[in-house]
Amino acid sequence: MDFRKVYEEWKSFPGLDEDLRAQLIQIENDENEIEDRFHKSLEFGTAGLRGILGAGTNRMNIYTVRQATQGLSEYIKKTGDTKKGVVIAYDSRNFSPEFAKESAKVLCANGIKTYLFESLRPTPELSFAVRHLGCISGIVITASHNPAKYNGYKVYGEDGAQMAPDAADAVTEEIRNIDMLRGIKLMDEKEAVEKNLLIYIGEEVDKCYLDCVFERRVNPDAIKDVSDFFSVVYTPFHGSGNMLVQRILNMCGLKNLLVVKEQEQPDGNFPTVKSPNPEDKEGFTIAIELAKKNNTDLIVGTDPDSDRVGIVVRNSDGEYVTFTGNQVGALLTDYILAQHKEKGTMPENPVVIKSVVTTEMVRSIADFYGVEMMEVLTGFKFIGEKIKEFEKTNSHNYVFGFEESYGYLSGTYARDKDAVVATMLIVEMAAWYKKQNMTLFDALEELYKKYGYYAEGVVNIVEEGLEGPARIAAMINNIRTGAPKEIAHLSVDAVRDYVYGTIKYSDGSEKEINQPKNNMLYLEMDGGNAWIAIRPSGTEPKLKLYFGYRHEDKDKALKKLEELKIDTQNIIKG
């Protein structure tokens, strides 16, 4: 792509949005900035689009959004039933409402009925709405937990899960054939409404969604039993979770809910946090102060599109500490399975699902309860695909699934991670332990005593700029072409390569992996006590390194984890 030529074409385009044109005029003498914005188009993948807001083909703006929606429209017209329609949701990010409406105008111009939420809603409700309304597809405008300068565009299939790789590839081909500035069909909003092509939705879908979430309680009396002396602080991080999280907790009987007022209202600039990411303790600073003043039992925070949730609890010294996604997932798995077993409500052929890079503690927990555990690639769509498979084969009953990246789902009403149901279950679980005179910190310590201490962590190697992708590819290839025999003085027993679908053992033997192809390596180490996974991020310029080490002694486990991190980075960077 001749980036300078494309830049000039955009700048001189008669119908260009004037704010975007002003941006282009401002950078006309900055060759590096022009190249960054125009050297390529944003890539549409199984996670849709995600990028920095601004003018350019490599930015999120109304033109890249329109092009993606026109491509989706062409795909639907060729492969699906346009009368089934598409449902659109959006979060609190800057330009999310505008991008949602532009998407609706393109769909309607292509004769595709469109259901548009009247105001911001969580991503999991979009997943639910696709199935509830019988739509052919769904769109949600969000960049999840990314910093404020980002936005994104995610597409869902008819099953309510994120679009499968083969479908995403087909949509990508359609997008490539569309002129971003001139090749888009658009219909006026008023005309779309008059023709019954554009339908606004809200409370009716909310109620049905919350009813499904409410059914996922495993101990309906847990919160009510301690409601007079149990309290929770909640922050939606300026996002879309506030209304529905408050409603579901009220339905469960929680009396003492304190909402962080400074972070309650939607705001795409996220003014009170460096990043609206529930993984980062920094974002919980205000919530922790509120919890300290009120002697609160639990702090919960949902990200901007409310598909991920993080928690803060008091440790044995009374200090508030964050839990990782792995720790919360292990606690929820144990709690849900234990309650089902105690109440005799465990379904036949139950299954728990985790991603490859998620804690191995879940395997031990599932074994203890006699429940099968399955492993899928990173990305909640793969958990969704398993649920769809079970519906066809009746081979298993899905109980719970999660990823280490703070995403959880109980039930099959949605096919994406859901912070609303996860928040409800976390609060229920904390209330149940409260009745046992235990905190969630106590409960986690009990799991470690039972199964061993699992020290786990993630390292992100960020490589921005034009050469970033090449540097990331080179680093993962350093391991692919010459995997070490040991790391941090631990033996490498086997290397799984998901690109080639093989697992190679240290004795030279080899066998196939029954998983879709994916650019990921997984090193099995120390007789199963240690592992390392390496994969490029699908949405950011990062190489992600995941580590796990199990030992009976916590201090030894944590020390070895740090050794693994240091040694692996040295090997990868050559």
Catalytic residues: 144
Give the Cα separation of 410 and 503 in Å (integer).
Answer: 31
Residues 6+ apart with CB under 8 A from 342: none
The torsion angles phi and psi of 203, rounded to 5 degrees, stand at -55, -40
Residues 6+ apart with CB under 8 A from 5: none
Query: Tokens representing 254?
Result: 């929680």
The torsion angles phi and psi of 493, rounded to 5 degrees, stand at -85, -30
Burial (CB count <10 Å: 0-12, 13-18, 19+), residue 369 = middle
- Alpha helices in 84-160, H assignment, sequence order: 96-109, 123-132
Short-list 60, 130, 139, CA closest to 107: 139
Burial (CB count <10 Å: 0-12, 13-18, 19+), residue 137 = buried
**Residue 460: beta bridge partners?**
544
10 Å Cβ neighbour count for 151?
A: 27
3-state helix, strand, coil in the chain (%, to 5): 40, 20, 35
10 Å Cβ neighbour count for 277?
A: 21
Helix axes 361-368, 325-343, angle to 10 degrees: 0
Give the Cα separation of 336 and 338 in Å (integer).
Answer: 6
Query: Tokens representing 532?
Result: 């390392």
**Residue 532: beta bridge partners?**
523, 547
* The amino acid at 425: L
Give the Cα separation of 70 and 90 in Å (integer).
Answer: 18
CA angle, corner 490, sides to 487 and 491, nearest 5?
95
Counting runs of H as helices and runs of E as strands, what totals does the chain give? 19, 23
Q: Which helix (H) or strand (E) holds 344?
A: none
The C-alpha torsion from 444 through 448 and 449 to 452, rounded to 10°, is 170
- In 126-255 the beta strands, taken as DSSP E runs, fall at 137-141, 150-156, 198-201, 231-235
Sort strands 198-201 and 150-156 into parallel, antiparallel or unpaired. unpaired
Helix axes 554-572, 468-480, angle to 10 degrees: 110
Residue 137's SS3 state is strand
The C-alpha torsion from 379 through 384 and 308 to 242, rounded to 10°, is 150
The CA–CA distances, whole Å, from 529 to 232, 333, 496 equal 36, 21, 16
Longest CA span, the chain: 70
Residue 458's SS3 state is strand
